[in-house]
A and B are shown apart, each in its own frame.
Chain A
Amino acid sequence: MTSTAIPKTTVRKGMAESEIENPWRLAWRRFRRHKAAVAALAGMFTILAYIWLGGLFFSRGLCEPTGKYLTSEAYANCNDLAKKLQPPSREHPFGTDTIGRDILARTIYGGQISLTIGIFAAIVEVVVGVLIGAVAGYFGGWIDDVLMRITEAMLIIPSLFLLLVLSKALGGRVPPIDVLGRTFSGSVIVIILVIGFTSWTYLARIVRANVLSLKQLDFISASRALGVSDARIIFRHLLPNTMAPIIVSSTLGVSAAILSESYVSFLGLGVQTPTASWGNMLDTAVKYVQTAPWLWFFPGLFILLTVLCINFIGDGLRDALDPRSTKHI
């Protein structure tokens, strides 16, 4: 309100007015005020550096059963039964798992998988949720009825159960895939799709509600009168105006997907070994609560830290992007 009444107060020294009008710059200024979110952003960059670059430094060593000196993911998958369940030591800072693999190396490559799943599942979620929400809200009528009844039908079954049933039904159907010289278990793709297709309902409802209120506005009627196509109205006029909730829920979608992956993999229906994920590193842990706490502590901690950082970033984005947010700029 102050900005329209006394525009000069919003202009800081040394800044052109046009720079301040830029909504992204404005959002960044609001985001920076959220201390925890900024700290979380820094934390997230640290975690990303660890899982991107960590492999270069921490994942190399002699794999005794093969007698070869291995680097990167091959080392993370090297099982040396003679060294199983060793507590943290200089050689293995996070200890070794039940078949003698180095847990530190596995948290790096497991992290790559868990984050990949988180990000791509969130992308699937956003694409499906936004499309269904926008189409239902824009066209209304029977299309809206059918789409919303389907959305409600999905909400009848607890999502973890749906996730487990889908993973079991599709598991083992996708062959291992090679990307950039690395072989991934096909279960990674299955988990991405399954999480994406079970989590879009919430986003679809928000987008639908926003589209419903936006399409009453004059600029949409004007576009219609000009003969602009439906697709163009949806993608160029309606969706950009509902970007804030989409960005916030896709961020939170990443953390929710990382947690979902950990539950499904923990129950043995997710990512299949030897491909590591933070979730499947936990799955044998229950038997070793007492004898080998390092087995579950480190992957669990990485999940907690990553999800925590993403949630704080999402909270910061909500404050930064919500135009109704009462916090001063």
Chain B
Amino acid sequence: MVNYIIRRVIQAIPQLFLISLILFVLMQAFGDPIASLGVRTPPRPEDRERLRRQLGLDQPVYIQYLVWLAGNDWMKIDMDGDGVGETPGRRLGILRGDLGNSLINKRLVTELITERLPNTLLLMVTVEIVIIIISLFLGVYSAIRQYTLFDNIVTGLSFIGFSIPIPLIALLFMYLFSVNFKEWGLPHLPTVGMFDPEVGRTPGQIALHMVLPVLSLSIISIAGYSRYVRSSMLEVLGLDYVRTARAKGLREMVVVMRHALRNATLPFVTLIGLDIPFLLAGAVVTESIFAWPGTGRLFITHLTQSDFPVLMGILMMTGIAVVIFQLITDIAYSFLDPRIRIE
């Protein structure tokens, strides 16, 4: 087991380096971040040069990557442009936990991310819980009522569910539950943001603002997951041990919930485990539509500004989480299913 963990980690490290290098080089092609600085008067050419030197953008890509990786406190930077380094660098690099500063607002990337992460997690964890509960229910129920009206309706709806583009479903919900309900004089849901500024950031407000994004996000995943639960449930229900359980005269409820469900949900555990790291990344499209202040929206706003330290920060955080959760899922699976041996 320990060997397995060590080997996996050793395998993942070059992969993280590779992907970070590729992303970093790609981001150099984004165009000039200074051009997208929100200043009223365009900077003079000499100011622009100075700014580039201060931000380290005048260096060749491989130096910039090294600085991003390992920091620059071991070298002197040339701030005044005379070709001789005089100011000692202060950055520590991502390997020592310093994700750098945003090029746009100079704030620490770690600070920007930790500010948004709780919002994204609040939204995404709720979504994940809704998904798990509803898709387990739908999956199990359609499996034990295979080919009935209920099953066929769920099948049809789930096909629509995973074919619908998120913008359409989000806008439809907005239109129905806030625009139309308001017109009809019914209690209506708020559309954008996290809370009404006039009421303040109360739990009730946040819950109210979460309803539509949670609905839009969960429907699409429920469609896929409930199918998954249904098919693995059907597979297990056909096995001999389930027949034995029935033959013993156990109640159907006990057979389904205690005997079949346990085995049927094993692959589901993997699915969810591999999903968790992506929760950190948030949902770019949904967060943009509902103006939810999460990491997904942080990513897209800083992407349009070519602010690569922030983007690299978010991507690397997600990447490391993916590696860790893949490992945790594998290990958890081997505990849950004794037939699987990790070597």
Contact = CB atoms under 8 A, between A and B. Distances in A.
Interface of A: 36, 149-150, 152-158, 160-161, 164-166, 168-170, 173, 255, 259, 262-263, 266-269, 282, 285-286, 289-290, 293, 296-297, 300-301, 303-304, 307-308, 311-312, 315
Nearest to B278: A158
Query: Which of A36, A161, A166, A312 has the most chain B CB atoms inside 10 A of its CB?
Result: A161
B285 interface: yes
B163 A166 contact: no
B300 A164 contact: yes
13 contacts: A153-B16, A156-B16, A158-B281, A161-B281, A161-B315, A165-B315, A169-B30, A289-B191, A297-B168, A301-B168, A304-B163, A307-B164, A308-B163
A289 B179 contact: yes
Interface string B152-174: 00000001101111111001101
A110 B172 CA distance: 21
Contact of A289 (B171, B284, B315): B171
Nearest to B29: A169
B19 interface: yes
A255 B174 CA distance: 25
Interface of B: 11, 14-16, 18-19, 23, 26-27, 29-30, 159-160, 162-168, 171-172, 174-175, 179, 191, 278, 281, 284-285, 288-289, 299-300, 303-304, 306, 311, 314-315, 318-319, 322-323
Nearest to B11: A149
Query: Which of B171, B304, B311 has the most chain A CB atoms inside 10 A of its CB?
Result: B171
B179 A290 contact: yes
A165 B26 contact: yes
Contacts of B26: 165-166, 169
Contact of A165 (B163, B168, B174, B303): B303
B304 A307 contact: no
B305 to A, nearest CB: 11
Contacts of B311: 165
Contact of A267 (B14, B165, B175, B284): B284
Given A157-B23, A269-B303, A296-B171, 18 more contacts: A156-B16, A160-B285, A161-B281, A161-B314, A164-B284, A164-B299, A165-B27, A168-B30, A168-B303, A169-B27, A169-B29, A267-B284, A286-B171, A289-B174, A300-B172, A304-B160, A312-B159, A315-B159
